[in-house]
Amino acid sequence: MNVMIYNKYKDLLMGLNIDVMKSLEGVYNVDEIIDTFTNFYYDKMILDITAIRDYQNTDNLQKLAMNINMENVILLLDDTPETNTKTYLSKLISLGIYNFTKNIDGINYLLVHPHSYKDVVNIHNLSELDSESAAAASKPNTFINDVPDTTVQMQNVGSNRVKIIGFKNVTPHAGATTLIYMIKKQLGSARRCVALEVNRVDFLYFNEPGMLSTTSNDIFKDVMRNQDNDIILLDLNDYNDLDICTEVIYLIEPTTIMLNKMMRKNKTILEKLKGENVVLNRCALNSEDVATFEYETKLRVLAAIPSVDERQVVIGPIKSFVNKLNL
């Protein structure tokens, strides 16, 4: 069953042929929406953006995105100048809001085919202001046709003294995002450091300056922009053009279930990782177990990092790891 919040576009939304178990009409503060639906089970929320008080301010939408699962929300946009730009849409994408449209056809499409990041990546522009119309968002199966400029050549990246370290999860959810956050925090003001995540917006939730999101299309440009730093930490996610990195750290969570998943997904993975920098993250193994792991897998383990509290100011295993990387 679905829920619906409407204001200006009530008549439009009432024409939807869907089952609705709860609906609200009017203009609401973000806190009111959160309080109403945080513990309320529903399949999809159809949200008229004009029902959000001060919706032009994306800080309000950020608060909403941090408290409600936006994968289950379809946002019906209006046509005001403030929201009718690619800049505004790009801000929505940075908040993890991928399902937005401007008409009934778009809503019907997104109910059946919800978007993921890859469906909206072409309009996720993190650096350039753009006042062009966002009318393409009204189409159910496409958003925009122009592709971001990717003419920055790879050989120009890393030409300065900046050290670019990529982190790649080998086992699912091996902790690259949080590890990068802890490394950046450990470096503090001692080194000029920026962190970039590719094709994700998880850095948003750390509220940490210098942790930015980029895309496969924009990564070269964003690295170039940040070459005045000493270190760039890259959360590579599904990005596989690793030549951009000075070095790559491959993260493995050495639990039975994660190792078996890894091997079942790719039986040749151990051969491909030979000679690479492998780190056992969230590791409960003792030194003897780590030595056994190295013997059985024929991999060189650069470090074994246990589960730690990322909220601590100084974290011993992270400090040791930073020293091992000569950062």
Burial 97-108 (b: 16+ CB within 10 A, else e): bbbbbbbbebbb
229 and 287 share a domain?
Answer: yes
Task: Provide the residue type at 241 as one letter.
Answer: D
- For residue 213, which phi and psi values (nearest 5 degrees)? -105, 145
Residue 66, domain CATH: 3.40.50
Sequence-distant (6+) residues with CB within 8 A of 175 are 169, 251, 253, 281, 282
Residue 147 belongs to some domain of the structure: no
Total domain count, the chain: 2
Is residue 28 within 8 A of residue 5, CB to CB? The reply is yes
Residue 81 belongs to some domain of the structure: yes
Residue 305 belongs to some domain of the structure: yes
Residue 145 belongs to some domain of the structure: no
163 and 299 share a domain?
Answer: yes
Q: Across all residues in the chain, what is the average pLDDT?
A: 85
C-alpha–C-alpha distance, residues 192 and 66, integer Å? 29
Q: Is the dihedral angle over the CA atoms 21, 27, 30, 31 positive or is it negative?
A: negative
pLDDT at residue 112 greater than cutoff 80: yes
Residue where one domain finishes, among candidates 88, 110, 138: 138
Longest distance between any two alpha carbons in the chain, whole Å: 68
179 and 86 share a domain?
Answer: no
> What confidence tens digit (pLDDT) does each residue in 5-33 have?
999 999 999 989 899 999 999 999 999 99
Domain span at 224: 155-324
How much of the chain is helix, strand and coil, in % rounded to 5? Answer: 40, 20, 45
Is residue 56 within 8 A of residue 83, CB to CB? The reply is yes
C-alpha–C-alpha distance, residues 120 and 110, integer Å? 13
What 3-state class would DSSP assign to 109?
Answer: helix
Query: Would you tell me the crossing angle of helices 30-37 and 58-67 to the nearest 10 degrees?
Result: 10
Which residue is associated with the tokens 């009204």?
138
Quote the pLDDT of residue 125: 63
Phi-psi region of 131 (alpha: psi -120 to 50; beta: other; left: phi over 0): alpha
> What confidence tens digit (pLDDT) does each residue in 153-188 have?
334 444 447 899 999 999 999 999 999 999 999 998
DSSP string, 23-42: EEES-B-HHHHHHHHTT---
Is residue 123 within 8 A of residue 145, CB to CB? The reply is no
Note if the pTM is more than 0.85: no
33 and 122 share a domain?
Answer: yes
C-alpha–C-alpha distance, residues 276 and 289, integer Å? 20
Residue 237, domain CATH: 3.40.50.300
131 and 160 share a domain?
Answer: no
Residue 150 belongs to some domain of the structure: no
Laid out side by side, the sheet with 44-48 consists of 20-25, 2-6, 44-48, 73-76, 100-101
Q: Where are the alpha helices (DSSP H) in 124-255?
A: 176-187, 219-225
HSE toward the beta carbon, residue 187, CA cutoff 13 A: 20
Pairwise pLDDT comparison (169 vs 94), residue with the higher score: 169
> What confidence tens digit (pLDDT) does each residue in 31-48 have?
999 999 988 889 999 999
> What confidence tens digit (pLDDT) does each residue in 190-249 have?
889 999 999 888 998 998 999 999 888 788 888 888 888 999 999 999 898 888 899 999
Residue 146 belongs to some domain of the structure: no
Residue 280 belongs to some domain of the structure: yes
The partner residues of 167 in beta bridges, in order of sequence, read: 235, 249
